[in-house]
Amino acid sequence: MSATQPTALRGATPSLLRLKRGEERRLAAGHLWVFSNEVDTAATPLTAFSPGGHAELRSARDAFMGHAYVNPHALICARILSRRAERPIDATLIEERLAAALELRRRLGAPDFCRWVFGESDLLPGLVLDRYGSVVVGQSATAGMEALLPVVAEAVQCLVNPTTLLWKNDTAARELEGLPRETQLAFGPLPESLTVREGTLTFEVPLGAAQKTGWFYDQAANRAHLARYLPAGSRVLDVCCYAGAWGVSALRHGAASALCVDAAQAALECASANAARNGLGIDTLRADAFEALQQLGARGERFDVVVLDPPAFIKRRKDAPQGQAAYRKLNQLALAVLKEGGLLVSCSCSYHLAPEELLAAIQGAARQAGRFVQVLETGGQSPDHPLHPAIPETRYLKAFFCRVTGAVG
């Protein structure tokens, strides 16, 4: 690693951050987040820290809890990067974490096209890295990780030597940390598009139209599982299609046709291009998901498979009742265009919607529509998005594969 490092990594003694009495239990169980109301601010004022500064975290009884970075202005005011007193936050630690994450993805079999780093689950809170062959796209969600980006960039170069590292830091979560939304090149040329390989398929996403870091690798395993449920010559409806991954995958696995629906024209153009890129063809419909399903139902259209992969309807816990109603309505509209014995793939990426709540939305929709649902398989995020067992926030994606028939009994 280079000798040029942020000041916090050059051997300065970290400041002390002390917890209130009894507030160490969740951290001792493995969680990495410290909330501002858990800190003994009389003994260790948060105002003494600048955003991104480092601290040695200790309990009220002076037990060492970890080395953390701090943002005094955020509700989650500190996040632990190391639990060993002799391993402070430095360039070596960051490179070791990245190397360990990379080794896991190599074992999973697709290290060049995957989520390389999934934040807390890879013990790098606030950091996401996705690989697109020789291009790496990252996001930093916290002030503490923002301060470490030069070190991260150097470690990325050392480990995989990509042509480009792009920071696509445009998420709303950054505003909670007092960070601007921006896109910056760490190094290399700015690509016009991102290339993805998923199984035997190749996709491209124009960078200007890319959502999040560009591709939803978290659904790759669920898309692969779809193949076992596809009737030969089936007609597929891909709702909220983005770049066409579900629809194109279904065609590759034997579907006769796929209609891809999205509200964005750029997404539909991307989906069509991706189908053609793989020697396939799709139909497209530009419309809001709810409006599209209503239109299709009114026309008497019927499909063998309907895939619902909408954006999160519940961004905050207080939005849960309204979001649950939206999931129920969307599934009810989908059931209305699904053939007898057809397959419904219903997904949600809302963390604040529990799996059983999505299942209740599906069942409520089925009862309203007079249909009977059998859940054949449940899915979650792909293995390159591992769960941290002590951090429920790392588990967010739900998918139910359901057979749907007429009312029974």
- CA–CA dist 131, 224 (Å, integer): 19
Boundary (domain end) residue, out of 190, 213, 236? 190
The CA distances from residue 152 to 5, 50, 264, in Å, are 10, 20, 34
SS3 326: helix
What is the pTM (predicted TM-score) of this model? 0.93
Number of folded domains that form the chain: 3
Does residue 218 sit within a domain? yes
pLDDT tens for each residue of 375-387: 999 999 999 999 9
Instruction: Name the token pair of 46.
Output: 């948060």
- CA–CA dist 387, 121 (Å, integer): 6
Position 11 scores a pLDDT of: 43
- CA–CA dist 319, 303 (Å, integer): 31
Position 18 scores a pLDDT of: 97
- Whether residues 19 and 69 share a domain: the answer is yes
Alpha helix (H) ranges present in 211-288? 220-226, 245-252, 265-277
Q: Which domain holds residue 120?
A: 91-190
Instruction: Answer for the pair 44, 20: CB distance below 8 angstroms, yes or no.
Output: no
- Whether residues 242 and 148 share a domain: the answer is no
Assign residue 134 the CATH number of its domain.
Answer: 3.30.750.80
Does residue 269 sit within a domain? yes
- Whether residues 271 and 319 share a domain: the answer is yes
Catalytic machinery residues: 349
The CA distances from residue 43 to 17, 18, 60, 65, 155, in Å, are 8, 7, 10, 16, 36
- Whether residues 372 and 330 share a domain: the answer is yes
DSSP bridge partners of 196: 203
Boundary (domain end) residue, out of 121, 156, 190? 190
- Whether residues 216 and 160 share a domain: the answer is no
Residue ranges, the chain, pLDDT below 50: 1-8, 10-12
- Whether residues 295 and 158 share a domain: the answer is no
Position 172 scores a pLDDT of: 87
Position 61 scores a pLDDT of: 96
pLDDT tens for each residue of 29-41: 999 999 999 999 9
Position 179 scores a pLDDT of: 96
Q: Which helix (H) or strand (E) holds 123?
A: none
Position 13 scores a pLDDT of: 54
- Whether residues 385 and 290 share a domain: the answer is yes
Boundary (domain end) residue, out of 190, 218, 235? 190
- Whether residues 110 and 201 share a domain: the answer is no
The CA distances from residue 119 to 160, 162, 196, in Å, are 19, 20, 21
- CA–CA dist 32, 78 (Å, integer): 8
Assign residue 354 the CATH number of its domain.
Answer: 3.40.50.150
Chain-centroid distance, C-alpha 110: 18
Does residue 1 sit within a domain? no
Position 53 scores a pLDDT of: 96
Instruction: Name the token pair of 364.
Output: 């409520």
- Whether residues 45 and 177 share a domain: the answer is no
- CA–CA dist 236, 259 (Å, integer): 6
Residue 199: DSSP 8-state: T
Does residue 2 sit within a domain? no
